Amino acid sequence: MDVYGYVRVSSMDQNGDRQMMALRDMAVPEKNIFMDKQSGRDFDRPNYKKLVKKLKAGDLLYILSIDRLGRNYEKIQKQWRVLAKEIGIDICVLDMPLLDTRGDRDLMGTFIADLVLQILSFVAQSERENIKRRQAEGITAVKAKGVKFGRVLSVLWVSAYFPNLLLAIKLAE
């Protein structure tokens, strides 16, 4: 049995130190920790794909929280089934002890774990939708105040690429 860890942050400017520390506390070997810096909307992530290819029946995968796995309700459910049922690994979500497939579970334990997974997957997707909504509202509010988005073209930049344009501007003055 090999032990793995998965870390995901949503953007390049975020860091996964908190997640990495939690995985190190669980004695996950550094070489078995896979990290992606991209959205959780789908599972088309390069290091996640590499991780899944390495996993084999009996392995253990640690994830700090279910929203680090993903933020799409249906896709989280599908990936959980692929990992736990099709590949046959154990999954341990560190911040939610009910989402730990290790050990023998009776029918009631499995039912409760499935129910918790459903709820937390829903919450993860809802949070993603709220983030997108708040971002759109913020952009609309700032635009209403007259703030312009995009790259500002300086005279130096324009003159470097369009030497005749600067001359034309000076002649027009």
Q: Nearest to residue 84, comparing CAs of 112, 117, 106?
A: 117
Burial group, residue 40, by CB count within 10 angstroms (0-12, 13-18, 19+): buried
Which tokens sit at 24? Answer: 């190190």
Question: What is the residue type of 32?
Answer: N
Between CA 135 and CA 144, with CA 141 as vertex, the angle to 5 degrees is 140
Active site positions, annotated: 10
Q: How far, in Å, are 48, 110, 121, 165, 168 from residue 158 at the CA level?
A: 42, 64, 49, 8, 12
